[in-house]
Structures are given as C-alpha cells and as structure tokens.
C-alpha cells in the first residue's frame, strides 16, 4: 500500500486484523508537532489509503511524551516571511478533510497531551480513544490565533457550541474523563490496552458520535445569533477585543457560518491568516518561546531533589509545601506549634482535591506532606527552604541553627522577597549552597520561580534548582541578588504610585480600571490588597532604603489599624465574600489624564534600571520574568518589547514630563539613553 513512499516522520504497519496503523514519530524531536513536512507526509499516506482502503485506520504516536502537541510554532515566522500562510492553512485543511472522507473507519489513539493540530486531527477521525491521564485541548488563543485546520467547524458539530466555544475561547485542556463526558472522547483505555481497544472499535464500526439534537439546533440561524451575543458579552467581560481579537473572531466565525460547514472552513482559513498577522499573535508567539526558554536546563548531571523541608507554615510556606507535594515530592513542614501547621494542611487538602480529583490520588499527595514540628526532616532533605517573616536577623539565626544538621550536598534556600542573599549568607559556613527560591502568591496559580543568585553561589546548585523548578512545573528565571530582585523591584514603584494616587483622592476603582485597560490582569490597588498591605509596606520599607522609593502617606497607618487587605477582609476595598467591593466613583468626578502614565512609566523605568544593572542576563528574560511574575499584558510582549514597539524616546519624554510635574521619583534612568 505504501511502497515507494520516503518517510521521516511517520511509520506504518498492518495488524493481523488488517487494520493499518499510522504512527507519528517526528524525527529529531522530543514531541510530535505538525510542520509542513510532517503534514505533506500524512497527505501522501492518506492518498494511498484512499486508493486501497483497509478495514480501518488507526493513528497513534511513537513518542513517550504524548500524542501531538499541535503545529510547529517554530515555522510560523518563516511561513509568514514567505507569504504562504493561507496556502499552508488550506493544505492542512485539505489533509484533514481527506482523513474525514476516507471510505474506511478512522480512529485516533491518544496517550498523553493532544493539543491544537493534534486535536484537529482527532476531530477529523470517526472515533477517539484516550488513556485516562491524557489531556485534550485547542489552545490556539494563547498564541493570539484560533484553530485553522477545521477545529472551529468540527468541534461544535461533535460536542455542541457551548462546550466547544468554552474550549476554544479559553484554550483550556480537558482531562480525558471530562472530554468523554462531553462526547469528545468515545472510550477510555489503559496505556497498554489502547491500541487493542482502538482496533476493536474500528472492527465493530459503531455509529460515530455527533452532538445531540438539542445542541445541533443551536447551529440554526436564530439560535446562533442569540447565543453568540451571550458568549461575546461574557468573553468581553474577561478580555478586551482590541488586545485579544482571536476569541471574538472564533465567535464571529460560528455566528456567521455555523450552519454551513464548507463556508465556515473557507472563512476559518481567511480569519486564521488575519489573526496570525496581528501584533497580539506576534507577541504571544514570542511569549511562547520565552516560556520554552525558561524550561531549559543545562545538559549536566545533577542530583535530583526528592525531599523538601519547609520552615514556616504561613500562607507562602504552607502553599509551597503543598505545591511540592502535589508535584510528587516528599515534603516536611515545620513551624513552632501544630496550630500553625494545621491551616496549611487544610489548604493543601483543598488544593489536592481540586487538582487530583480522585480520592486515592489525594490520599497519596497527603501522605507525601507531613507535619514536622521538631524539624527532623532537616537532616534528610535535599532542600531546606525557609519561608518565615521578612527579618534579616531572624533568617540568619535560622540558617545558623539548621546548617549543622543538614546532610552534605543539601541546598539551603530562602523564599525572601527582598533581602539580599549576601547578607543572609553571613550566617552560613558554606555560603555556596545558599540560593533564593522566590515563589509568588498564590503559589498554585503563579507560574514563576525566581532563582536568586549571589557571588558565592555554586553554579551546580543553581542548575540543580533549575531542574527542580521544571520538575515542579514552575518557570525559572535566574536573577542577581539585588534589593527586590526582579519582579518586586519592578512592581513596587507601580504599586506605590497607585497608592499615592489614592492618597491624593483618585478613586481606586478608576486606577484599577486604567491598569486593566492597559492590559494588566488585575488593578494595582486590588493587587496591594491581595499581596497584603503589611507585606507591601514591609517590602517597600526594605526597598526604600536601597532604592530611594517613597512610601505613600497613610499606608503604614492602615496596616497598624488592622487593614491588611483581602486576608483580613478589609484593605483599600472590603471583601465580604472573598471578592472586592470597590466604592463607587463620585458623580461628576473626572479622572486625571495622566493616570495611566503615572502607573506604567515607573514600571518601565525600573525595568530599564534592572537591565542596566544586569539583574537579569537579557531583555528577553526580563520580559519573561515580568510576564509570568506579574501578568504584565502578555499581548504587549513584555516591558522591553513594549519599549521597542513604542519607542524609547517617546517614553523617556513621558517620564520627563511626569518628573517636572510630580518630582524626581519619575527621573528617567540613565539606561534610556543606551536603548537602540
């Protein structure tokens, strides 16, 4: 059947049942992705199958890492430079159309991740079988684009528009069990029984699934118009269409063409090209590669970190311990008394139940996390991490106490958010083993881990911790041990300026709106409440001594009066049910015209300072750290990319205007003059 074909990325075989197996195994790659070469080979294979149909066609992966990760993102720039976006998309549509039109039954056997183009291939098959731990999704919106190989057409037809839209608009991947409930997956199988189960289904040839009648009715014109409006309004509440146009393009495709698959397929290709050419797609693709760069570790052998001992069971320490246990590590959690550890264990169980679902998996995670009041875990741990309050003398005393009890080669780590490690190292006999592992709150949601280096750090310790970060699914950026490191140093002037504006009478609600309109995920006043006014004031005090920052009037008074923010139910806003209640803006109030500049320019100015002082080793890693550590408008590509796109001269002039109006806290850093 396949004689004469020269293949690099696919294997083929025929089972005793006559079922043909096509195995995707992309050459020289750890994961399967659809490059143009891979797609052409699949097209050639399907042409042969069409000529001589077998009893069934089963498509599987030859990689241990998963099924198919999607399109080869590394080709995007080249395809765009050649002006062949539409041609490439339409060819992919043709190949998957050919797959869908084969005269024999077809099946995708999914084990592991199945994303983007992999999911679109699976949708073009008659059946889909998956292992329980598989994840299926269409995450294209995270790159500023949308499915382009028929996903916008086939997914609503299979599972109905509401669930299909939710998958495509959020980019979230579904667990295989959830995907089965929604009709996306036909059957679950064990990894060892996956192919046999697939062959059995192909031979049985059950009627392929499609959405039930009540969901198919939503594709009718009147229903589409009404539902599209509801979906658009809900999406607009979460994303600005000027910043993130792709979700709204998906909705519009379905609204206009959902009743006509052929027309929708053609429109999908045109829309995909339009989205791929936006600044949002360019910047989000850049963010994708920044994420991949943060996952990289040096190709050297390092001892694995298997046991973490955390000292300090407060919100940060307890949540770090829970996260490490969730990711499979043995964890011992120490504090002065049981009453300080117990709340952390309660939060940990809630995290495990949310993430792991099954009782036996929750029980396994709980078994990995143990209360350790006496600190016996210090002697066995690969990493001893302190997460106590921000006080230099207290941390130095703790390190002097635990270091003699630690095993050889163990890492001493601190979660300090502002104290230079050189000062902490003064209490250690082996300062080379000290490193900063600065997590962000909330630990389970914030992906960044700042790895804080200092002059005496052993490079092997840094590499060991980078490998540890990848193992617990965190994105690592190495920063030098300067006050505030990278994220807090850049974030603090922005937050303090927001608080200063509140002290001047500007409503916090308007300040937060200005920040969100710029593209921030949360306004700075709400952020101060979430971080905690006490924590913000403490960090600001440390940084003000070293960086000359001015602490706004009234902040410390609020802390002393017990208004510490969300955790106490009251800060700048009140939190009666965990969500902020923001005072209404007085009638007739006019917001200051320079409000957005007052927020963003200190942020950018400090970013330039950090580059000049080499807090990070490249502008790219600065952008990565700030995006994943603060949520800085990903569609803008990061502070450095925003400076490049806007123009350093333009932004420096804004700083000079603010300096003349409000004082030297807006004085441009000398680094602005060196930006090309």
Locate CATH 3.40.50.720 in the chain: 307-481
- The catalytic position among 140, 199, 268, 462 is 140
Retrieve residue 539's tokens: 């960090």
pLDDT band at 499 (very low <50, low <70, confident <90, very high): very high
pLDDT, residue 180, reads: 98
Above 90 in pLDDT, residue 216? yes
More confident call, 568 vs 75: 75
% of the chain with per-residue pLDDT over 70: 100
56, 203 contact by CB (below 8 A): yes
Rounded CA-CA distance 122/70 in Å is 11
Q: What would the DSSP string read from start to end of 233-289?
A: HHHHTTS-TTT--HHHHHHHHHHHHTT-HHHHHHHHHHHHHHHHTSHHHHHHHHHHH
Q: What would the DSSP string read from start to end of 515-561?
A: HHHHT-SS-HHHHHHHH-HHHHHHHHHHHHHHH-PPPPTTHHHHHHT
Rounded CA-CA distance 333/385 in Å is 10
Rounded CA-CA distance 398/240 in Å is 47
pLDDT, residue 194, reads: 98
- Per-residue pLDDT tens digits for 113-131: 999 999 999 999 999 999 9
- The catalytic position among 31, 108, 112, 120 is 120
Residue range 391-395: average pLDDT? 94
- Per-residue pLDDT tens digits for 326-384: 999 999 999 999 999 999 999 999 999 999 989 999 999 999 999 999 999 999 999 99
Give the strands of the sheet with 10-14, arranged side by side. Answer: 10-14, 20-24, 57-61, 106-110, 127-131, 187-189
DSSP H/E element including 127:
strand 127-131
DSSP H/E element including 106:
strand 106-110
pLDDT, residue 167, reads: 98
Per DSSP (E only), the strands in 9-105 are 10-14, 20-24, 57-61, 66-68
User: What would the 3-class secondary structure string for 184-239 be?
Assistant: CCCEEECCCCHHHHHHHHHHHCCCCCCCCHHHHHHHCHHHHHHHHHHHHHHHHCCC
414, 421 contact by CB (below 8 A): yes
pLDDT, residue 172, reads: 95
The residues with which 128 forms a beta bridge, in sequence order, are: 108
The residues with which 309 forms a beta bridge, in sequence order, are: 332, 384
**Mean pLDDT taken over the chain:** 95
Closest to 231 (Cα-Cα) out of 277, 292, 169: 169
Retrieve residue 57's tokens: 């066609």
Whether 380 is catalytic is no
Retrieve residue 601's tokens: 């320019």
Going 80 to 83 to 84 to 90, the CA torsion angle's sign is: positive
Rounded to a whole number, what is the largest CA-CA distance in the chain? 82
pLDDT, residue 390, reads: 85
Distance from the Cα of residue 233 to its chain's centroid:
24
Locate CATH 1.10.1040.50 in the chain: 488-674
pLDDT band at 101 (very low <50, low <70, confident <90, very high): very high
CATH 3.40.50.720 fits 307-481, yes or no: yes
Burial environment of residue 635 by CB neighbours within 10 A (0 to 12, 13 to 18, 19 or more)? buried
Going 356 to 357 to 360 to 366, the CA torsion angle's sign is: positive
Residue range 240-251: average pLDDT? 97
- Per-residue pLDDT tens digits for 410-448: 999 999 988 889 999 999 999 999 999 999 989 999 999
- The catalytic position among 117, 148, 565, 571 is 117
Residue range 546-572: average pLDDT? 86
Backbone angles phi, psi at 673, to 5 degrees: -75, -10
Q: Give domain 488-674's CATH architecture.
A: Orthogonal Bundle (1.10)
Give the number of other CB atoms < 10 A from CB of residue 631.
Answer: 15
Whether 624 is catalytic is no
Residue range 15-25: average pLDDT? 97
Above 80 in pLDDT, residue 545? no
Above 90 in pLDDT, residue 544? no
pLDDT band at 159 (very low <50, low <70, confident <90, very high): very high
Above 80 in pLDDT, residue 300? no
Whether 71 is catalytic is yes
Residue range 133-149: average pLDDT? 97
Q: Whole-angstrom distance between the N-terminal and C-terminal Cα of the chain?
A: 58
Per DSSP (E only), the strands in 347-480 are 369-371, 383-386, 411-414, 434-438, 448-453, 475-480
Residue 258: asked if its preceding bond is cis (omega within 30°), the reply is: no
Give residues with Cβ within 8 angstroms of 418, minimum separation 6: 390, 483, 484, 485, 488, 538, 539, 542, 543
Cα three-residue angle 197-203-208, rounded to 5 degrees? 85
Rounded CA-CA distance 668/676 in Å is 16
Backbone angles phi, psi at 76, to 5 degrees: -55, -50
Rounded CA-CA distance 618/622 in Å is 6
pLDDT, residue 344, reads: 97
pLDDT, residue 560, reads: 87
Q: Which of 84-98, 103-117, 284-298, 634-648 has the lowest mean pLDDT?
A: 284-298
- Per-residue pLDDT tens digits for 217-239: 999 999 999 999 999 999 999 99
- Per-residue pLDDT tens digits for 585-638: 999 999 999 999 999 999 999 999 999 999 999 999 999 999 999 999 999 999
pLDDT band at 541 (very low <50, low <70, confident <90, very high): confident
Fold (CATH) for 10-277: 2-enoyl-CoA Hydratase; Chain A, domain 1 (3.90.226)
């Amino acid at each position: 059947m396949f004689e004469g074909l020269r293949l690099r990325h696919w294997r083929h075989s025929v089972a005793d049942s006559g079922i043909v197996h096509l195995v995707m195994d992309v050459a020289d790659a750890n994961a399967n992705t659809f490059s143009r070469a891979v797609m052409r080979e699949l097209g050639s294979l399907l042409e042969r199958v069409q000529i001589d149909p077998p009893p069934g066609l089963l498509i599987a992966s030859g990689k241990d890492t998963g099924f198919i990760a999607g399109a080869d993102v590394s080709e995007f720039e080249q395809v765009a430079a050649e002006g062949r976006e539409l041609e490439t998309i339409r060819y992919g549509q043709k190949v998957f159309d050919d797959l869908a039109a084969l005269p024999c039954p077809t099946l995708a056997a999914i084990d592991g991740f199945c994303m983007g183009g992999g999911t679109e291939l699976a949708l073009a098959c008659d059946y889909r079988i998956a292992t329980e731990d598989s994840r299926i999704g269409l995450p294209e919106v995270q790159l500023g684009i949308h499915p382009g190989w028929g996903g916008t057409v086939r997914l609503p037809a299979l599972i109905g528009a509401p669930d299909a839209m939710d998958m495509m608009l959020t980019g979230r991947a579904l667990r295989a069990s959830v995907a089965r409930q929604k009709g996306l997956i036909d059957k679950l199988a064990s990894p060892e029984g996956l192919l046999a189960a697939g062959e059995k289904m192909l031979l049985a040839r059950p009627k392929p699934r499609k959405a039930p009648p009540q969901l198919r009715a939503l594709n009718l014109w009147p229903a589409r118009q009404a539902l599209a409006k509801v979906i658009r309004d809900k999406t607009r509440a979460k994303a600005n269409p000027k910043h993130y146009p792709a979700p709204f393009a998906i909705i519009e495709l379905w609204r206009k063409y959902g009743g006509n698959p052929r027309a929708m397929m053609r429109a999908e290709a045109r829309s995909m090209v339009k989205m791929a050419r936006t600044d949002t797609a360019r910047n989000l693709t850049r963010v994708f590669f920044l994420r991949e760069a943060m996952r990289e570790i040096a190709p050297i052998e390092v001892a694995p970190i298997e046991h973490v001992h955390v000292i300090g069971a407060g919100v940060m320490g307890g949540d770090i311990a829970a996260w490490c246990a969730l990711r499979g590590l043995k964890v011992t959690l120490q504090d002065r008394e049981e009453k300080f550890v117990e709340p952390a264990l309660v939060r940990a169980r809630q995290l495990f139940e949310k993430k792991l679902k099954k009782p036996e998996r929750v029980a396994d995670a709980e078994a990995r996390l143990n209360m350790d009041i006496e600190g016996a875990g210090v002697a066995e741990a690969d990493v001893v991490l302190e997460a106590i309050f921000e006080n230099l003398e207290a941390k130095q005393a703790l390190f002097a106490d635990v270091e003699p009890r630690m095993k050889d080669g163990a890492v001493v780590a601190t979660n300090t958010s502002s104290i230079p490690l050189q000062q902490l190292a003064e209490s250690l006999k082996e300062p080379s083993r000290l490193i900063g592992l600065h997590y962000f709150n909330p630990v389970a949601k914030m992906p960044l881990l700042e790895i804080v280096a200092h002059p005496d750090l052993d490079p092997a310790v840094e590499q060991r911790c980078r490998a540890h970060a990848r193992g617990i699914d965190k994105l690592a950026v190495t920063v030098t041990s300067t006050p505030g490191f990278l994220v807090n140093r850049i974030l603090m002037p922005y937050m303090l300026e927001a608080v200063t504006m509140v002290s001047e009478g500007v409503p916090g609600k308007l300040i937060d709106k200005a920040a969100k309109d710029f593209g921030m995920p949360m306004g700075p006043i709400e952020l101060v409440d979430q971080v905690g006014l006490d924590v913000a004031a403490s960090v600001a005090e440390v940084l003000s001594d070293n960086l000359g920052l001015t602490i706004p009037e009234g902040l410390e008074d609020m802390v002393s009066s017990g208004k510490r923010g969300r955790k106490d139910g009251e800060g700048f806003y009140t939190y009666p049910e965990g969500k902020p209640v923001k005072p209404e803006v007085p009638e007739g109030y006019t917001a200051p015209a320079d409000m957005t500049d007052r927020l963003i320019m200190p942020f950018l100015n400090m970013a330039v300072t950090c580059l000049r002082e080499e807090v990070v080793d490249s502008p790219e890693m600065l952008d990565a750290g700030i995006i994943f550590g603060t949520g800085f408008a990903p569609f803008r590509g990061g502070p450095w990319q925003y400076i490049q796109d806007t123009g350093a001269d333009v932004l420096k002039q804004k700083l000079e205007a603010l300096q003349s109006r409000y004082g030297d806290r807006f004085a441009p850093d000398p680094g602005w003059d060196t930006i090309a």
